[in-house]
Structure 1
Amino acid sequence: MRAHTPKEPGLEDIDPAADPYAAYAALRAKGPVHRVPVVPAGGDSWLVVTHEAVRRALTDPRLRNDIRYSAAWETDGGHAVGRNMLQSDPPQHTRLRRLVAGHFTPGRIAGLRPRIEAVARELLAELPEQGTADLVSGYALPLPVTVICEVLGVPVADRTAFHTWSNELVMPTSEEAAAGSADALTGYLTELIAEKTRAPDDSLLAALAAAAADTSAGPLPEPGAGGLTSEELLGMAFLLLVAGHETTVNLISATLHSLLTHPDQLARLRADPSLTGGAVEESLRYNSPVHAGAFRFAAEPLNLAGTHIDAGDAVLVSLAAASLDPLAFPDPDRFDITRRPRGHLGFGHGPHHCLGAPLARAEATIALRLLLDRYSSLTFATDPTDLVWRTSTLLRGLKELPLRLGRPGGRDSTGPPA
């Protein structure tokens, strides 16, 4: 069972860095929709926390992703890089998604599995056989970064800088740092797109650049057309690169954390590796790397689960809270890798369901299986209560995950035989 704080939090106590799950449970008990402050963005938003209400909100066409429907909108502001699928609604969203959907089908991802496995094995070979290592920086991070950068065509020498900018944007440390990263990433992607246009290769980014260069569809292509505006191309590159690894880093490390804090489940997985996919699905439900979907804005007055929402109001759907709703999942605070958590919302729902879900699932299951194959012993190298969770309005993930590693027949640096 997940340990909760004894104090029931009020609306003002929602703190994803401390104990978001206790806050979600308290909010669900009071109702499906609540008015809450948004930190650090400022202002208020409606927060949707029950499974049924979240599913409805994610498919309600009156709730739009385009920030221009916000009553507070003056400029696109923030630190957006171009315009992307998360910021658009049908028919624009439909057209943008169709351009890349074919590259992330289960069949296409199956073709990537050998390369994902090769990258994972290379990273594991660089870790010590015994001793301690940070599994975030040494494994959970470089695996998805390498894969998505290879798919998009980001040069090896640029990947560290790219991740630094990306991480600052999704989990900002300050307004100034986020703005600086947005400027740097915009400049970098603009130059990279220009290079792919001048000298096309077999990368996805080169294919998208070619679509943008095709002006036959006009400056604003109709749904189903093959074109992209220059701003949409920039936004597409940004979204695929950032979303293509940030959440998977958190998924891999959170799954390891959940298994290590539930040793009975780890033992069950070691005894039956066929449960690896189930462990990842349960982790998506139990300890979701994405705590909320992108902000939505009411295009007109509406009633959402009994709550009146004014036109222009911001609405935030809590995927993590919905996936822990006891009305949808019996005994939701129990981590059980044999559970079949159908309907969990770790990848969202509706038109904006995560395009990269097949890739994230493949990377996480491969990473977990090969890690457990290599090490017969994995334990925390520090008190798990001292681990730092980095948070933003939308994401939550471990900053570091120092583990003590053991191999068959070996002896780690601080413990008994593995």
Structure 2
Amino acid sequence: MFGGSARAQAYDTDAVHREISLEDAPVAAEAAAACAALSESLLRFRLGENPAANALTCPVGTALTIALLYAGSDAPADGVEELLGVASSADGSGAAADDARDQTWSALQNSLLIYEPTEAQLENYNPKAIPEIPLLHIANRVLLVGDDPAVEQSYLDAAREWYDATTEHAALSDAKAALDAWAQRHTGGLIRSSGIEITEDTRLVLQNALLFAAGWAWPFDANDTADEDFTLSDGTVVTARLMRDKLRLPYAQGQGWQAVRLQYAEGSGRTVMDVFLPEVGTNPSDLPEGTWAEASAALDANAYGQQRMAEVRLALPTFDLAPGPVNLLAFLTAQGITLDSLEHIGENLEVDQAVQQVRLMVKEEGTVAGALTEVSITESAVPDEEDNPVSFIVDHPFVVRILDQLTGLVLIEGVIMDPTATTG
């Protein structure tokens, strides 16, 4: 989207990005639901590895990177269509399955660009300053590596046409610096280095970046923020900084959980943060699978007046979390998905790394989040309430979900086990 990166040169392509509207997406709702399911599955996988650790994910970044990997392909790897929510893409229009996949995810990406910053805004971005109007930046890049990466021009054209991906080229010795520079620029400095290890067999790397920043519709008063107890999953009590306010909010509750929705300011009011709080003594991962989606659906109904709003006495921790790189290949393998069938990109190629890094900051003024999703491809050897306020005191592990209400896409989601953890 924006120019070349340090140590990388632009690579010519005559392809032009298609401006596909959401109305032309064959299975947008199904794809958004699949994105939410992907988010929950990945978070549960992470918690299975380390139940006490914070876990963050950018599901839309994961989905877009996998869609980019198979741009223009008519034979993606087994399970990819299901993962992206386009397996049932018989929309009656006669569109080929691969076109339906690319049309859907291209349209979803385009629909999120209403908050896209200018080049100057991105260049001068300061993560400590919350913008008056929400900022949501999404960028894709294909970096060709080495003297002769031997990548099909038709793939590079499809990447540009469907996902507005820029293509650049770097020498093997310059590739890591080029990846780092692009990551830092397109995440606003929140993620400063690539998670990919360059080897002599690396032929290309796909990068997807997301940067989100928005102020609350009703900012918290910093004077009301105070040190309070937060109980970890093992019963240990730590001291967290809890913001407090009394607000009228969409509110929902179910078996063993309650949830509220916080609105961001200005713009079209599309982006929100849902906060899911299990009952005391219950970890988020202990709730049945699908509970978080159920809670968001209930909040949707309440937000539009079909059920109830509530006066909520809210206490929510501030935090700045970056749990570290996530190996997406391990997760995808556990789901039975192997990112193979890369003949549309070139001969004798295989995915050797898929990594995601996410940082999420929540404070009195608003929210800032950055995510970087990368795939490395190598030459082979041959995933209405009563007057009494509801108490919503977030003093034990909880879930946050930032989503776009128009599409239903989950941008960032996290299970916060310890808001006092230091940023890695």
- TM-score, normalized by the shorter chain, greater than 0.5: no
The answer to which structure has the higher strand fraction is: 2
TM-score, L = length of structure 1? 0.27
Task: Give the TM-score normalised by structure 2.
Answer: 0.27
